[in-house]
Structure 1
Amino acid sequence: MFKHRDYTLRYRANNEVEIILPNSQMIVNKPLIDKTTFTIMVWNIFKQKRADCIQILEHYADKTKLILLQEAQTTPQLLNFITRQNKIADHVPAYCFNNIYAGVMTITDTLPISIYSFREKEPLIRVPKSALITIYPIYNSTQQLLVANIHAVNFSIGVKSYRQQMHMLLNRIKEHNGPVILAGDFNAWSQQRLNLLYHLVSTIDLKPVNFSNDIRKTFMGRPLDFVFYRGLQLDTAKIISTSASDHNPLLVKFRLDLQG
């Protein structure tokens, strides 16, 4: 399976896992965004190593339109959550160990109309990090919502691999004519990485979400988790304090700002 670099795994309630290959045809009968406002959760779930992480997901399952996870592992507990909540989960495995896949996962109620997966090997430890773009219809609009979920490369000397991973993602995002959300664990722990990240997202007109009570996970004094957006209005943004992961979940509410 891992010979197909660009595949995605899809999990649905009470269904077997599907392998989604590039250019797969998708029939979507239901828009993801059907109201003026919607909420997303962004969370590095720390491979579900800590107690109560599934309870956090259960609590916010019906309060969010999108749950963007990093370090999501296909454990029975997470797959059972997807089934109980009747969700759809698109997963880009970075690696597999003991038949458990790990990588970014985007969880919603609705199928995307397009999907793109990305993998970039860590230059030192050679274990990949993954990213996922999903595109969804918006009710009563000709525009579509692009959602990018990323776990950025971490262990590197310099920023060559970091820049390469970001370029792969942003080159696809800049082609999109419609609202965009780019979020995840960017591992921007050095000033060089942070400067590069802000420069690259600014070239495609993405704005950062700021948090008044900023309790994001930090390393070397810098936050790791971010949400960037364009073509939307920011309504509210908060961070959930929890011990269920080594990262705190970000909860962001957006308002549609559509012209068509």
Structure 2
Amino acid sequence: MRKKTYAMRYVAGQPAERISPPNAMLHMGQGLPPGAPLPAHPQLKVLVWNIFKQQRSDWMSVLQGFGKDAHLVLLQEAQTTPELIHFATSNYLAADQVPAFVLPQHPSGVMTLASAHPVYCCPLREREPLLRLAKSALVTAYPLPTGEMLMVVNIHAINFSLGIDVYSKQLGPIGEQIVHHRGPVIMAGDFNAWSRQRINALYRFAQEMELEEVMFAHDHRRTAFGRPLDFVFYRDMKVSEASVLVTQASDHNPLLVEFLSQGII
């Protein structure tokens, strides 16, 4: 029996809230709560990082140094330890995590920290066919000062599989969300695109979704078999700065991207 897919929301001063998948996709606009926009003037700053379940001692210093000024922080392999929850709720209005699997004490999965409350939250999970462990993804949406809605996709892609059937299957529900959305999109995370088949599938998907790839002049992203694992894709936005932060605080280096808010079409 498959485990239920859900997200856990953490907000300062409130008990953790379990969020079930929505009854309708974002473009249907059914029952969306009113929300204050992301305070993204003049730039929208986004940090993307596989945090390696906080197994290395200096992960918090990296988050405090680079994450606290970001409007959005997209973490993969985020373990809901008290230290991470305290950081999230002290620096952000909301943190949403999709538990992929439960470790001895704390669930681990993708987590999106935001300086605005999401008006839409769709948790997704896909099981690794070989290890039988799950990988998670999260689709959230936030109002922008322009009046538009920003869709944010945080993903930790399937890693161990024969061929790309399950890899492509995980991207399918995300594509359904993006293709119907009229407005800017950010899709980022650890895509585990370590083979030619996987990178080709990912680029085909991005092309179908009309997403552009953020390029890094000094590319220090974690690689496997010579291919980067972490990516940031976007639509209807303009990139002002993009960098990779070199650190030993995880087995992945964080990606820091700034989008011009006035560049949102």
Q: Report the TM-score range of the alignment, normalised by the length of the smaller protein.
A: over 0.9
Q: Which amino acid aligns with 2:183?
A: G
| Mapping for residues 85-96 of structure 1, pairs under 5 Å | 85-96=91-102
1:228 to 233, 241, 260: 233
Q: Which residue of 1 aligns with 2:71?
A: 65
Q: Is the 8 A contact 1:159 1:192 kept in 2?
A: yes
Query: What does the per-residue CA deviation read over 1:129-148, in whole Å, with 9 as the maximum and x for residues that have no partner?
Result: 0000000001142x210000
Structure 1 position 35 matched with structure 2 position 41: yes
Whether the aligned pair in 2 keeps the contact of 1:183 and 1:226 (CA below 8 Å) is yes
The equivalent residue for 1:117 is 123
Native 8 Å contact 1:28 1:112 kept in 2: no
- Identity, % of aligned positions: 45
Letter in 1 for 2:10: Y
The size of the alignment, in residue pairs, is 256
Which residue of structure 2 aligns with residue 160 of structure 1? 165
- d(CA) in 2 for partners of 1:226 and 1:242? 17
Structure 2 equivalent of residue 186 of structure 1: 191
Alignment of 1:120-199 (within 5 A): 120-141=126-147, 143-199=148-204
Q: CA 1:86–1:112 in structure 2 vs 1: closer, same or farther (change >3 Å)?
A: closer
Partner of 1:9: 8
Specify the alignment match of 1:218 in structure 2: 223
State the match for 1:18 in structure 2. Answer: 17
After TM superposition, give the deviation of residue 26 of structure 1 in Å. Answer: 5.7
Distance 1:207 1:165 in 2: 20
1:241 equivalent in structure 2: 246
> Residues of 2 paired with 1:42 and 1:227: CA distance?
8
Q: Cα distance, 1:86 vs. partner? A: 4.5
Aligned residues of 1:104 and 1:131 also touching (Cα < 8 A): yes
Within a 5 Å distance, the mapping from 1:69-80 to structure 2 comes to 69-80=75-86
> Shift of the alpha carbon at 1:209?
0.5
> Please, what is the CA RMSD of the aligned residues?
1.5
Query: What secondary structure is seen at the aligned counterpart in 2 of 1:90?
Result: strand
How many angstroms apart in 1 are the aligned matches of 2:36 and 2:54? 30
1:108/1:86 Cα in 2 relative to 1: closer, same or farther (>3 Å)? closer
In structure 2, do the counterparts of structure 1 residues 192 and 227 end up closer, same or farther at CA, with 3 Å as the change threshold? Answer: same
Separation (CA, whole Å) in 2 of partners of 1:158 and 1:132: 24
Between the aligned partners of 2:186 and 2:39, the Cα distance in structure 1 is 13
Kept in 2, the 8 Å contact 1:28–1:111? The answer is no
Task: Tell me how far apart the structure 2 counterparts of residues 87 and 186 of structure 1 sit (CA, whole Å).
Answer: 27
**Distance across 2 between alignment mates of 1:221 and 1:236:** 24
Structure 1 position 253 matched with structure 2 position 252: no
Give the aligned residue type for 1:173. I
* Length-normalised TM-score, structure 1: 0.94
Letter aligned with residue 79 of structure 2? Q
User: Distance in 1 between the 2:72 and 2:40 partners?
Assistant: 13
Query: Gapped runs of 5+ residues in structure 2?
Result: 24-30
TM-score by length of 2: 0.92
- Given candidates 101, 107, 111, the residue that maps to 1:101 is 107
Rounded to whole Å, the distance in 2 between the matches of 1:117 and 1:83 is 20
The amino acid that maps onto 1:9 is M
State the secondary structure of the residue aligned to 2:252: coil
Question: What is the rounded CA distance, in whole Å, between the counterparts of 1:234 and 1:197 in structure 2?
Answer: 20
Shift of 1:188: 0.2
Kindly provide the amino acid, as one letter, of the partner of residue 83 in structure 1: T
User: What amino acid sits opposite 2:80 in the alignment?
Assistant: T
Counterpart of 1:135 in structure 2: which amino acid?
A: A
